[in-house]
């Protein structure tokens, strides 16, 4: 998986909802307010998430933290399998991954369509400089935030 830039999410037994940013300061607090995730801006420091617990180092200066959160604005009635995974790099918070059961994919997609409008189909993505083909749904939120399902 490429840590910087775009990412493609595979739907298998577990589906991942990814909140991904470019190189700006937008973020996601709720689906329609692209100014922070959990009320914190992209680029926030780990210390800005006092309940976050270190999960793993990914190398290249990237680390994953897990934190409790109310994900109802993003998932609707679907329960996440764990707290969101916050990806921190040298620029602070860069990405967020949310895991939920694959059987709930349609419910999450329907919920996001209701709160964000219809998505853009995402069929082709570059991963590590190589083309990757798969089906995903993409929503652009603000200038620098994308949601990929």
Task: For residue range 84-121, list pLDDT tens digits in order.
Answer: 999 999 999 988 888 888 889 889 889 888 888 877 76
Q: Is residue 43 predicted with pLDDT exceeding 70? A: yes
Q: Is the pLDDT of residue 30 over 60?
A: no
Q: For residue 25, is pLDDT > 60?
A: no
> Distance between CA atoms of 61 and 63, rounded to whole angstroms?
7
Dist CA 124 CA 131 (whole Å): 7
- Contact by Cβ (8 Å): 71, 85: no
Cβ 34 vs Cβ 28: under 8 Å: yes
d(CA 12, CA 29): 27
Residue with the two structure tokens 């934190």: 67
Query: What is the distance between the alpha carbons of residues 8 and 136, in angstroms, rounded to a whole number?
Result: 8
Provide the whole-model pTM: 0.71
Give the pLDDT of residue 146.
75
Strands 62-66 and 85-89: antiparallel
Picking from 89, 88, 108, the residue whose alpha carbon sits closest to that of residue 16 is 108
From start to end of 9-91, where are the E strands?
A: 14-21, 53-59, 62-66, 85-89
Q: Hunting for tokens 């329960």 — which residue is that?
A: 79
Q: Phi then psi for 103, rounded to 5 degrees?
A: -65, -20
pLDDT at 68: 93
């Amino acid at each position: 998986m490429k840590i910087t830039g775009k990412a493609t999410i595979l739907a298998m037994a577990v589906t991942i909802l990814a909140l991904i940013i470019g190189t700006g300061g937008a973020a996601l607090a709720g689906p329609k307010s692209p100014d922070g995730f959990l009320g914190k801006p992209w680029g926030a420091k780990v210390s800005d998430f006092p309940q976050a617990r270190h999960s793993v180092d990914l190398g290249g200066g990237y680390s994953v933290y897990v934190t409790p959160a109310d994900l109802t604005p993003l998932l609707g009635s679907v329960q996440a399998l764990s707290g969101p995974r916050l990806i921190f790099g040298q620029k602070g918070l860069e990405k967020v991954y949310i895991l939920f059961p694959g059987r709930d994919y349609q419910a999450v997609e329907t919920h996001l369509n209701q709160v964000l409008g219809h998505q853009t189909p995402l069929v082709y993505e570059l991963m590590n400089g190589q083309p990757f083909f798969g089906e995903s749904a993409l929503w652009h939120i603000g200038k620098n935030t994308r949601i990929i399902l």
